[in-house]
Amino acid sequence: MTGPMERTRAQYREPGFEPAGWDGPFVRVPFASSQPPASVFTYYKAEADADGWTSNGNRNLLGYPFDWQKRFPDGWQGSLGLLDLTSRDVTPGDRHEYVLTASAPAIEASG
């Protein structure tokens, strides 16, 4: 990790540019790796697949999926994403900066 894990609680959004509603909980983990980006994306794709996440079909410039979704037993859907934040003018072996994000819709208590 290259910085602290950021955790954001679900919060109600007042109407403005978007309609009023809930923004779900969110976790963001920044990290770096000197492994080739293809290795990093291959690793996280395998981990996501093994845990039941499904690619949204979006692919990065290398052709790898970078966002996934998963429907959980209670019916809510989570999102998972991996982005390479490094500029494209790096030389092979240079460290790349990434961010891994996970989010879910806010679940309102009933009853």
**Which pair of structure tokens corresponds to residue 57?**
């079909």
Position 18 scores a pLDDT of: 79
Position 21 scores a pLDDT of: 80
**Which pair of structure tokens corresponds to residue 88?**
């494209």
Q: What letter does residue 61 receive in the DSSP assignment?
A: T
Position 76 scores a pLDDT of: 85
Coil, helix or strand for 26? strand
> Domain spans of the chain?
27-100
Position 108 scores a pLDDT of: 58
Mean pLDDT by 10 residues, the chain (111 residues): 90 84 88 93 96 94 94 89 88 89 73 40
Helices (H), 51-94: none
